[in-house]
Every structure is written in C-alpha cells, then in structure tokens.
Amino acid sequence: MLIAILVLLGIAGAIWYFARKQTHTVSLTAEQTAELNRQIERDAALAAAAVEPTSSISSPSVEQIDEVLASAPVVEVPVSPVVEPVAPVTELPSVVVEEAPKPAKKKRRYYPKKK
C-alpha cells in the first residue's frame, strides 16, 4: 500500500515537472527583438524578390534586396539601458612574498605494542 502511494506521488511529480518545463516562457530583450525583426524582414525581402518575375533566372541581387528593405517601414523601439554603478579601479602595489618551504613532517606510524 505504501509503495503504491509512493509510486503515484512519483508519477504526479514527474507530470508536474514536465508540464512546468513545457510552459516555461522566454523573454527577449529589445535588442534581440530588433534583430529578430531584421531577420524576418530580410527573409521576406528575399522571398519577395524570388517571387517577382525576372528576365533571367538568377538569385536576387543585393540591390533588389536593398530596395525592398528600404521600402519597409523601420520601427524604432526606445531602449532604456540599465547602467550599473562601477567602482573605480585602483591599482594595488604588488608585493611578492616568497616564503621558505616548510620542512615536511615525518609520518609517525603507530603500531600496537607486542605483548
């Protein structure tokens, strides 16, 4: 009976652990979000340039990509940087102290006295 209760508690704990692990949210910083948006815009520009019919069969040129990116609106997100106070670095005089090596202790072995 006790073993069955422990097994059920173990299973419930495992379910809770994996459910919590699956619902873990990830928060991105403003820089990461801006970089992700730039990558999405670049991918969209490449896809748009690939869809447009061209006279020759080739990959989109850098100029075509730049034109598409220039026509896309740029969204600026104000970022308020967190500035941590920095203590001024003071140089300490370096003192090298060389100590003489300590003599090794003799190992004392204690043997039981013979009777």
Whether 16 is in a domain gets the answer: yes
Whether 8 is in a domain gets the answer: yes
Instruction: Write out the residue range of the structural domain in which residue 57 sits.
Output: 2-71
Where residue 7 falls among pLDDT bands split at 50, 70, 90?
very high
d(C-alpha 44, C-alpha 42), whole Å: 5
Whether 37 is in a domain gets the answer: yes
pLDDT in tens, 33-42: 888 899 999 8
Find the length of the chain. Answer: 115
Q: How many CB atoms lie within 10 A of CB 68?
A: 19
To the question of pTM greater than 0.95 for the whole model, the response is: no
